[in-house]
């Protein structure tokens, strides 16, 4: 992993030590650490509320990543303990959990939330508590500069990067007159704002922007707002009613209508072959990591798929009806890998080293593809606290998502909007 020259030298030494420790039994690695106490990571989990389907798989992935780290010597010889609590996908509850992690449960850092309103509602408290807060969200709120130095997003790309990367494909292959359907909160607003800019840069235009409350349970009344001249319906929907959303969209179009380009959020945890979704055949989706195993899947990707308990179709090995949130949950794995690398580079011992941890992560750049980063090569920008990676576009063919295009890391990069390294702790 590339960092500054100083950190690289230190990392090489730590890697050498870790390699020797890996041969020892777990109890021996544990007792040779500076302390036998585990590193405790407070895990905000969306077990209930609108994000529950994601939360279920975020928790499974986080647990699998922690097990992988512990099986390989832990962090600085100490075991990792995830202290998981339900945030209800609620920003008030999220902030309360940070308080609990820091002051009652003795957590070293906090980690995990996806939904942007939880991140935005929790981050100020993280700053007040001086608690490093590693989020696994996709909103542009971190890289925009609206949060604080204690909040980082080093394991999953943001919406602005995603839409910049996919807009050229949409314009060149599907159409330039677009109607957008998106959830009416910060994450959806990022799509609205940044895709509008991105498609206009490709000579296209957004004809209509249809915002839908994320708790909506029926969507038919929104579809008549789609202008007749629309060439592409761009849709991204979240929450427990996504299956209803895509079914009602199909009923409205009756097998005809504009091209469809969706973010896989509209299908996360949903079986593509569910009755009523036949109309999606031939439509395109963005994916952060491809749900279905592709012919060129790497050894690291096969390892990760097995570790999180997912089959080649993206469903649970224990129950093929239990479809994963594969396009997003990799962020839990990669973020814990960054935390491990940062703590090792900082020589992390306890809360007194929290600022050293943040500075060590800020010094990171290249995150090379491998078992630690199975999504692919990634690049972290320490100034904006945001990671960048490849973006995939898949087409539904015979009821499977088949990758048809990959946009490189550079396609999703944009000028810095903040330099957190210049902000005080």
Q: For 113-170, how does the pLDDT look when each residue is reduced to its tens digit (9 = 90+)?
A: 999 999 999 999 999 999 999 999 999 999 999 999 999 999 999 999 999 999 999 9
CB burial of 292-328 (b: ≥16 within 10 Å; e: otherwise) equals bbbeeeeebbeebbebbbbeebbbbeeeeebbbbbbb
Q: What percent of the chain has pLDDT over 90?
A: 88
Checking if the pLDDT of 23 tops 80, the result is no
Q: Which helix (H) or strand (E) is 335 found in, with range?
A: helix 326-346
User: What structural domains and CATH numbers belong to the chain?
Assistant: 5-157+326-389 (3.40.50.2300), 159-287+391-412 (3.40.50.2300)
Lookup: tokens for 265: 């959020």
Q: How confident is the model at residue 78, as a pLDDT? A: 97
Q: Indicate yes or no: pTM above 0.85.
A: yes
Q: How far is CA 219 from CA 215, 244, 255, 401, in A?
A: 11, 8, 17, 24
Q: For 234-290, how does the pLDDT look when each residue is reduced to its tens digit (9 = 90+)?
A: 999 988 889 999 999 999 988 788 999 999 999 999 999 999 899 999 999 999 999
Sign of CA dihedral 146, 334, 389, 237: negative
Q: Are 156 and 137 in contact (CB under 8 A)?
A: yes
Sorted by sequence, the CB contacts under 8 Å of residue 57 that are 6+ apart come out as 269, 324, 325, 326, 329
Among residues 385, 386, 390, which one has the least CA distance to residue 368?
390
Checking if the pLDDT of 27 tops 60, the result is no
Q: How far is CA 403 from CA 155, 289, 349, in A?
A: 22, 10, 43
DSSP state letter for 294: P
CB burial of 212-234 (b: ≥16 within 10 Å; e: otherwise) equals bebebeebeebbeebeeebbbbb
- Pick left, alpha or beta for residue 347 (phi over 0 → left; psi -120 to 50 → alpha; otherwise beta): left
Q: Largest alpha-carbon pair distance within the chain?
A: 69
Q: How confident is the model at residue 4 (pLDDT cuts 50, 70, 90)?
A: very low
Q: Are 14 and 1 in contact (CB under 8 A)?
A: no
Q: How confident is the model at residue 418 (pLDDT cuts 50, 70, 90)?
A: very high
């Amino acid at each position: 992993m590339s960092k500054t020259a100083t950190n690289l030298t230190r990392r090489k030494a730590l890697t050498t030590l870790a390699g020797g420790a890996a041969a020892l039994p777990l109890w021996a690695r544990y007792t040779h650490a500076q302390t036998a106490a585990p590193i405790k990571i407070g895990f905000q989990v969306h077990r209930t509320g609108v994000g529950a389907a994601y939360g279920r798989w975020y928790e499974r992935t986080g647990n699998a990543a922690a097990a992988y780290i512990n099986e390989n010597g832990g962090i600085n010889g100490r075991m990792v303990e995830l202290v998981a609590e339900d945030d209800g996908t609620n920003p008030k509850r999220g902030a309360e959990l940070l308080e609990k992690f820091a002051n009652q449960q003795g957590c070293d850092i906090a980690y995990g939330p996806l939904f942007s309103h939880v991140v935005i509602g929790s981050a100020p408290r993280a700053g007040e508590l001086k608690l490093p807060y590693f989020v696994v969200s996709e909103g542009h709120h971190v890289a925009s500069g609206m949060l604080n130095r204690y909040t980082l997003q080093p394991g999953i790309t943001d919406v602005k990067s995603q839409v910049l990367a996919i807009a050229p494909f949409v314009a060149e292959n599907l159409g330039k007159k677009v109607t957008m359907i998106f959830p009416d909160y910060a994450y959806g607003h990022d799509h609205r704002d940044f895709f509008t800019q991105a498609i206009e840069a490709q000579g296209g235009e957004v004809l209509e922007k249809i915002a839908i409350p994320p708790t909506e349970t029926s969507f038919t009344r929104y579809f008549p707002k789609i202008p007749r001249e629309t060439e592409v319906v761009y849709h991204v929907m979240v929450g427990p009613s996504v299956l209803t959303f895509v079914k009602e969209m199909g009923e409205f179009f009756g097998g005809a209508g504009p091209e469809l380009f969706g973010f896989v959020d509209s299908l996360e945890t949903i079986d593509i072959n569910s009755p009523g979704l036949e109309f999606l055949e031939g439509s395109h989706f963005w994916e952060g990591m491809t749900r279905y195993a592709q012919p060129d899947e790497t050894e690291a990707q096969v390892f990760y798929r097995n570790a999180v308990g997912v089959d080649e179709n993206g469903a649970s090995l224990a129950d093929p009806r239990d479809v994963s949130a594969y396009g997003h949950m990799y962020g839990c794995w990669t973020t814990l890998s960054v935390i491990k690398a940062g703590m090792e580079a900082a020589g992390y011992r306890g809360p007194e080293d929290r600022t050293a941890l943040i500075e060590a992560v800020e010094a990171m750049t290249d995150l090379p593809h491998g078992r630690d980063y199975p999504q692919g090569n990634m690049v972290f920008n320490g100034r904006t606290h945001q990671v960048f990676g490849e973006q995939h576009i898949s087409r539904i063919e015979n009821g499977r998502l088949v990758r048809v295009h990959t946009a490189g890391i550079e396609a999703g990069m944009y000028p810095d909007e903040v330099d957190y390294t210049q902000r005080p702790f």
